[in-house]
A and B are shown apart, each in its own frame.
Chain A
């Protein structure tokens, strides 16, 4: 069945994204393009519900409603992976910030100690 191949492929892409995603302008562009496509597909599905049935039939899925459910699961997974990666990146930024604060404070204290112990 075509739908199985499509779904397995989509899940594999989500896994690959989890392992390999980079923060680049290209990736961001692809994500945004993806969002626009999903949005347009949403409009079409609402305005012409019968289309979802025909696309489903084309892929070998029983009903349009099933197609919507499968797509939703894949998009939801993709989104959580994206958020997870964003959170990792955010943590790294926070750590770098905290570390530079710590080191700045430490070198200030060291400078003060040195001043205090220097012969006048």
Chain B
């Protein structure tokens, strides 16, 4: 097996779920994000998508297994590469997708995984709109709601949050996914393919932390038009 840091105690940590973290130039925060995940999870996989800073070294130092794209392909491509890698690991039962920019809580990921295991649900989507913890602000709220409406129209799945990077997927669900959208349209594409596969799913309330850092990298309202075109023309 591929444990990169055998030093940490592994008895207490979750070892059948793999955390998949697409990584592109997040040197400011990636060390802390990985360290936080490694406290709970034995297997944290980073897919470096051609970072030009020292993100890779920092992620490795914090205990992640890092695999590298030869050039920047996009977050969707990185996720799919991660799915392919974990699919080849014999002991993997679940994949948790987790953003590298530090906006998710490890405790939310743990609770979602526990729910997926206990009730045997194939897919748990994180949603920031199911409770009052997350305060996105007016502008962000409008952008996200536009994306939600778009996703509903395309997929027919009535999710409350379309662009949340925190998800728990069983390996059965992973087997039904083949992401072809390299860029940011993959979030809608995942929902689309899972809706077609007719697997059990549920949403789970999570908090999204809007730090100064993550606010600098937001999506715009016009991007929902990109998503629509990406999914229509392929």
**With the chains together, A19 CA to B229 CA distance in Å?**
10
**With the chains together, A96 CA to B4 CA distance in Å?**
26
Q: Which of B6, B73, B232, B233 contacts A98 (CB 8 A)?
A: B73
Going nearest first, the 7 A-B pairs with the smallest beta carbon separation are A106-B67, A110-B2, A99-B81, A98-B70, A95-B77, A102-B69, A102-B67
Q: Flag whether B234 is at the interface (Cβ < 8 A).
A: yes
Q: Number of A residues whose C-beta is below 8 Å from B? A: 20
29 contacts between A and B (CB under 8 A): A19-B232, A19-B233, A88-B233, A91-B182, A94-B73, A95-B73, A95-B182, A98-B70, A98-B73, A99-B69, A99-B77, A99-B80, A102-B47, A102-B67, A102-B68, A102-B69, A102-B70, A103-B67, A103-B84, A103-B85, A103-B88, A105-B68, A106-B67, A106-B85, A109-B67, A110-B2, A113-B4, A114-B1, A117-B6
* A98 / chain B contacts, CB cutoff of 8 Å: 69-71, 73, 77
Interface contacts (Cβ under 8 Å), in number, total 45
Check if B70 sits within 8 Å of A18, measured CB to CB: no
Near A by CB (< 8 A), chain B positions 82-105 give 84-85, 88
Binary A-proximity of B109-128 (CB < 8 A = 1, otherwise 0)? 00000000000000000000
Q: Flag whether B39 is at the interface (Cβ < 8 A).
A: no
Interface of A, secondary structure class, is helix
Please list the residues of chain B having a beta carbon within 8 angstroms of any beta carbon in chain A. Answer: 1-2, 4, 6, 47, 67-71, 73, 77, 80-81, 84-85, 88, 180, 182, 232-234
Q: Flag whether A32 is at the interface (Cβ < 8 A).
A: no
**Least distance between B43 CB and chain A CB atoms (Å):** 12
Known: A88-B234, A98-B70, A113-B2. A107 touches B77 (CB 8 A): no
* A105 / chain B contacts, CB cutoff of 8 Å: 67-68
Q: Which of B70, B80, B88, B232 contacts A101 (CB 8 A)?
A: B70
**Least distance between B228 CB and chain A CB atoms (Å):** 12
Near B by CB (< 8 A), chain A positions 79-120 give 88, 91-92, 94-95, 98-99, 101-103, 105-107, 109-110, 113-114, 117
* A88 / chain B contacts, CB cutoff of 8 Å: 233-234
* B47 / chain A contacts, CB cutoff of 8 Å: 102
**Least distance between B81 CB and chain A CB atoms (Å):** 5
* A102 / chain B contacts, CB cutoff of 8 Å: 47, 67-70, 81
* B6 / chain A contacts, CB cutoff of 8 Å: 117
* B73 / chain A contacts, CB cutoff of 8 Å: 94-95, 98
* B70 / chain A contacts, CB cutoff of 8 Å: 98, 101-102
Please give 20 more A-B residue pairs, beta carbons under 8 A apart, in addition to A99-B77, A99-B84, A103-B81.
A18-B233, A19-B233, A88-B233, A88-B234, A92-B180, A95-B73, A95-B77, A98-B69, A98-B71, A98-B73, A99-B69, A99-B81, A101-B70, A102-B68, A102-B69, A103-B67, A105-B67, A105-B68, A106-B67, A106-B85
* B81 / chain A contacts, CB cutoff of 8 Å: 99, 102-103
